[in-house]
A and B are shown apart, each in its own frame.
Chain A
């Protein structure tokens, strides 16, 4: 238990006032940025990176990891309040978080999301301590065929995202096609409409905000309040009481966290796929299957524990192998390179003490997030009770600014609005949007890895000789067939209750 000893020793290194100040500052900054539509924790890391030039390695890591942790939960706040995931990892939180908010259970939804995020972060941290190297080595087993199947596995949940499975799959396929727009890995331009702004494909932030937030904001313009039934008094007890919802579901919390950690090691899509898979599996196996998507805490727990726990997996890959799996971890690696560290397998071996100390700080950051997150939840719950005539213009401006900040391009704002108008039209005619958004997120990954498979293998069938690929394929097929089979079984049970 050398690793565990190093983890405990790490606490000794960070139990100083300056580290606590860095954690509070970083988590608060990450929370605020994550909670603003269009802005993300990754942007926070990018903004603060220059400030870490003159910092030693450990304070720099502690500060940036704090922003990362805060940003992960911050995105859940907009997901719950205005139907806009702050990052792709919060997409599944929208499904039950926003309906709970509309029902007047804003504090409960925010509380469940906060405690789920903290629980997932703590469990992810423990996994990170105990199985860092096996987790990281697992990511080395993932080649193009495995990554392609991971994307397919993630996409296989589209069938369960709405009551009409066929329409959901149809929407998902449209999303995948949209996701292939841009310059292909081999250099061909597809569907760019002659503009270089689309060469990198459809930018994610305008798509997320456009399809999810803008239709909702348009609809809210016809209402006096976001939550019509809410009492104007904010009750912190409702936030605190929602902890009980987690305590009474320990198996779900642990299993979803485990899914998050394992899927989190996969580069590029770990947190997003983790939260979606976790949501889907929880839904399939739950007695309250039919209630998912209507606003139940189980949906938020599944999504948030998993996306927070995936942090542990992603960090394992980054720290042990020097392979960043996302923009955030790439910037964290950049921060280490500023310190003169060399990315690669020796990073972990040569700097074990500091890395375990930063993992210890990750553990403490969850408790900091508990405090700052509660305050932000209270503030947000108060804010959402303002009349829409004051709230909506400000939120729209935030979405415009957040979208613009992504690439400093007015084109992105126009794209967001175009998607918003299309999304509103689809929503008004009861066409599922979430599968379409999922297709846009995961389509590019599937496209890129399929090209690599084409280059690496003579025949597509050769990929099924790889056990992980075969396993993921079987899981994907089951993921598609299981909702159909379960719905038939449930329908039969309803007809013949005896």
Chain B
């Protein structure tokens, strides 16, 4: 029962806390800047309690019955690894620059996926990164982040 409560009530609770933090930060401002924020926050708080009560009632009802199986969830490990790699890409962007970060990102992603073909493993990161760099930098005129190598 506790995981269900955590899932169905925990997340709205976290969002309410975030909303509360925002409300506390801005509540000292002029009334005209809170015209929408105040009623929305109060409504949010009321809705949270209604939602929580409804969810709790449903959880208690379902406790006696066999719990309905929710949709199959994707395996976590691969997702977390890919997410970590994406975080690393974004973190490296301002320091290593787009070209280096993107090349390493594609290489690591292919390696983690088990791509064995060396031609693809080495050529694809370089070709794709270079192509994107040229398109965005020279065709679209977007100045991409340059790292310690100057590009």
Contacts and interface: CB of A to CB of B under 8 A. Distances in A.
Contacts of B70: 430
A177 B114 contact: no
B134 interface: no
A397 B50 contact: no
Given A176-B40, A177-B19, A424 B83 contact: yes
Nearest to A399: B86
A219 B79 contact: yes
Contacts of B122: none
Contacts of A447: 35-37
Contacts of A186: 30, 32-33
A484 interface: no
Contacts of B90: 400, 410, 413-414, 417
A393 interface: yes
A101 to B, nearest CB: 17
B43 A173 contact: yes
Report whether over half of chain A's contact residues are helix, strand or loop; otherwise say mixed: helix
B19 A396 contact: no
Given A219-B79, A426-B11, A180 B32 contact: no
Interface residues of A, number: 59
Given A218-B79, A219-B79, A428-B73, A450 B36 contact: yes
Nearest to A167: B51
A191 B26 contact: yes
Nearest to A417: B90
B136 A188 contact: no
B12 A170 contact: yes
A447 B48 CA distance: 22
Contact of A389 (B7, B93, B110): B110
Contacts of B89: 396, 400
A6 interface: no
B11 A429 contact: yes
A166 B50 contact: yes
B94 A410 contact: yes
B37 A177 contact: yes
B143 A408 contact: yes
Interface string A400-434: 11001100101001100100110011101111000
B100 interface: no
A392 B109 contact: yes
Interface in A114-139: none
B40 A173 contact: yes
B123 interface: no
Output the residue of A173, A424, A426, A454 with the most chain B CB within 10 A. A173
A468 interface: no
B86 A417 contact: yes
Given A218-B82, A393-B110, A170 B44 contact: yes
Interface of B: 7, 11-12, 15, 18-19, 22, 25-26, 29-30, 32-33, 35-37, 40-41, 43-44, 47-48, 50-51, 54, 70, 73-75, 78-79, 81-83, 86-87, 89-90, 93-94, 98, 102, 105-106, 109-110, 113-115, 120, 124, 128-129, 132, 136, 140-145
14 contacts: A167-B12, A180-B36, A190-B25, A190-B26, A190-B33, A214-B86, A221-B78, A221-B79, A390-B115, A390-B120, A397-B129, A405-B142, A424-B79, A451-B35
Interface of A: 43, 47, 166-167, 169-171, 173-174, 176-177, 180-181, 184, 186, 188, 190-191, 214, 217-219, 221-223, 388-390, 392-394, 396-398, 400-401, 404-405, 408, 410, 413-414, 417, 420-421, 424-426, 428-431, 443, 446-447, 450-451, 454-455
